[in-house]
Amino acid sequence: MFQVILKSGKDASVRRFHPWVFSGAIKKIKTEEGREAEPQEGDIVKVTDNKGNFLGIGHYQNGSIMVRILSFKEEEINEKFWTEKIQEAYDLRNQLKLTDNHQTNIYRLIHAEGDRLPGLIIDYYAGTVVIQSHSIGMHYAKENIVKALKNVFGTVLKA
């Protein structure tokens, strides 16, 4: 996994759980072997401060926002991760009485940064979900996202 190392003093926003790492905050990017290199768009990268302390893990994308952080703890970004995040979002919508509402059967399940999944929007329409990827990393993660949706919704999902 690539390591994105931030410049000295540029870690404050990430420490406050801001999910974006801007290009100007990056000192260098290294491979696991320690040589400088650039990841592929959509790769999962580890973000550290300039001393190597872990700050987060997220999707890399070449642009002004170079990393969209998915987690502020060291964990694998796999089907289990996606299932937990989507379940957490569903549980919140359930508490807000959006999932079983006699006035509507439509709600936004995932609202990108608001649900700590920057670059992803998922809308629920009476058994059908519509996924919008606003980053290449989220586009590449769609297979695991769909599996997670099936894990959370089961047979309720039609499409």
pLDDT per residue as tens digits for the range 126-140: 999 999 999 999 999
> What domains are defined for the chain?
2-71 (2.30.130.10), 79-156 (3.30.750.80)
Q: What is the pLDDT of residues 77-122, one digit of tens each?
A: 999 999 999 999 999 999 999 999 999 999 999 999 999 999 999 9
Residue 25 confidence (pLDDT): 98
Q: What is the pLDDT of residues 20-49, one digit of tens each?
A: 999 999 999 999 999 999 999 999 999 999
In this prediction, residue 159 has a pLDDT band, given cuts at 50, 70 and 90, of: confident
CB atoms within 10 A of CB 158: 10
CA neighbours within 13 Å on the CB side: how many for 1?
A: 18
Q: How far apart are CA 145 and CA 86, in angstroms?
A: 8
Residue 64 confidence (pLDDT): 97
Q: How far apart are CA 60 and CA 41, in angstroms?
A: 6
Q: What is the pLDDT of residues 105-117, one digit of tens each?
A: 999 999 999 999 9
Count helices and strands in the chain by DSSP H and E runs: 4, 9
